[in-house]
Structure 1
C-alpha cells in the first residue's frame, strides 16, 4: 500500500516570543516492512532544518527561529510504501527469555521507565494471563495483548501522557498511548522485552481496523487523524512481534512506523522550548491518503496528491 502523509503542527502564542527551538519526529522509517519514498519538512516562519538519527534509530528534524514571532507552523510531508508483516510461527519456549545472549540484546527494553513503571496489580494480572496461555512466548504476548483490550476502554480527554500506568489501569480508560504503555508494562513484568512505537494509522477510527475488501473499497481514501501508538514484543527465535492493542489487531500495512523507544519520551512527535512570557497552544493534525495504483509514480514529491486534493475542494 502506498500512503501520502501530511503531519502539521501549529503553535499559537498569546504574544510575541523571541526564540523557539524544536525537535520533530514525524518521518516514517525504512525497514523490512515499509519503504520511505520521499520526505520533506517546511516551517513558517522559515527556518533551517538540521536532521540527524537519534540513539533509537529515529530521524529527528531540529529547527528553530530567533526572530520574534506570534505563531509557528511545521509541516512534514511523506510518501511511504507498506506491506503486511508475517506472524510468528512455531513454539517459542519461555526459558529462552532467560538466555544470557537474549537478555543482553534486549536489556534496555526490560527496564522500568517513567511511563512503564508497573506495580503489583499489573504484575498479578499479567502473570494470570501468561499461566493460562501455556508455555509459549507467542501465546503469552497474544494473551497480554488481549488483556490490554479487556482492561481499558478508549476515551479521549481523560488521561495525559504523564499519568502513571497503574493509574490508567485502575481507571480503565485512555487513548492509544495508554494502551501501548500498558502493553509494554504487561510484557516487561513477565520478562518479555517490549518497546513503545510511534507512528500513523490509516483508518477513520483508530479503535477499529478492518482490512476486508469491503472496507478497502468503501471510499476511505483520505482520513484526518492524529499520530498513533502500539507496542512490539521481542519473541525468542522470531524477533519483534508488533501488535496494536487499541484496536486489538496485529500491525499491518495500514500502520506506518515513525520510530520506537522505551516509552513515549523516546519518540515524542514534537517537543520544544521558547523564550518569552506568552502562553502557547499547539494544534496537531495528520492527513493520510491511500494512493490508487494509477496515480503512483516513482518520483512524485511528498504530499503532492493531498495538496492537489485540497485545492480542488
Structure 2
C-alpha cells in the first residue's frame, strides 16, 4: 500500500551522539527526542536504538504530541553513547498555498473562533521585552494599515531573515534573543527559527519552533536543523526554513515541535562527578536516500 502512494521517498536516518568523560561519572535522568514525528506525510518503517551504558527506557508523549524517551541509569560510566537509526517513507502533499481559507488569503485577518483558543499559547511572545526591536526591524516588510497576501508576507519574512543575517554555527546551548540576532547580524538555524517565530507572533500569527533533521545535497551527510511553523487557516501548520530561504519540503524531517526552543531540545539531562571530568562529545548525523 505504501509503495502506491504519490511523492514517495525513502530516507535513511542515523543520529549518533557520544559524551566522553576522563573517569566514570553518574548520570541523572535524560530526556531524548530523536524519533521523527509521523503523520500523513511521513512514516517510520524500521529502525533501532543503541544506548551505552544500558538504561531503563520509558516512553511518553508531551503536551505537543512529541515522542520522548526518558532514560534512567543505574551505574557510572566514562561515556554515554546514543545511536538512533530509522528508515522513513516520505509522502509529500501538493503545495498548499491554494488551500488557504479565503478569509485568510489577505493579511491582516482573524483566526476562526474555534481555533483562537487553541492558538493562544502560540501567539504569545516568548521574548516580550524584544518587542520594540522587532517592531523597528519589521517596518521594512509591513506597516499597520496595509493589506497584503498572507502567503507572500510569510515568504517575504522568510527571505528577509535569510538575506539580512549571516549564518554562524554555534556550539553553545540555547538560543540568542531575537534582539541579539538583529544586533549581531548573525545566528544559527535555531536563532533564525526563533526570530521568525517571534516576528510572526508580533503580527498575530500562531507560530512554533521545530527541531529535526535536514537532508543535504549529494555527497553530504545531513544535519540536525531547526525551522519555524506558522498556522494559516485552511492550510494548517506551514513550515518555513529561514536559514535556507525555502519552505519546508521533503528534505526536512521534523522530530519535535514546541512553543519555545528549549522544549524541543534533542537531548537533555545531567551528570554528577568532578567539574573537570567532561572530556568532549561527538555528533554524527546522516540523512540520505535509502
Q: TM-score, normalised by structure 1?
A: 0.80
Q: Root-mean-square deviation (CA), in Å?
A: 2.2
| Residues 39, 76 of structure 1: 8 Å contact kept | yes
- How far is the alpha carbon of 1:202 from its aligned partner? 0.5
Change (3 A) 1:127 1:148: same
Is the deviation greater in 54-63 or in 148-157? 148-157
Report which of the two has the higher share of strand: 2
Q: Which runs of 5+ in 2 are unaligned?
A: 1-8
Matches within 5 A, 1:14-53: 14-53=22-61
CA–CA distance in structure 1, aligned partners of residues 129 and 256 of structure 2 = 21
Residue 276 of structure 1 corresponds to 273
2:135 to 115, 120, 123: 123
- How far is the alpha carbon of 1:23 from its aligned partner? 1.1
Residue 15 of structure 2 corresponds to 7
CA–CA distance in structure 2, aligned partners of residues 18 and 160 of structure 1 = 21
CA–CA distance in structure 2, aligned partners of residues 277 and 112 of structure 1 = 39
Residue 88 of structure 1 corresponds to 97
1:143 to 119, 131, 156: 156
* Count of aligned residue pairs for this structure pair: 274
> Which 4+ residue blocks in structure 1 deviate beyond 4 angstroms?
none
2:176 to 154, 163, 168: 163
Residue 3 of structure 2 corresponds to none
**SS of corresponding position for 1:97:** coil
CA–CA distance in structure 1, aligned partners of residues 226 and 240 of structure 2 = 10
Matches within 5 A, 1:260-275: 260-275=257-272
Matches within 5 A, 1:292-303: none
1:101 to 114, 121, 126: 114
Q: TM-score, normalised by structure 2?
A: 0.86
**SS of corresponding position for 1:112:** coil
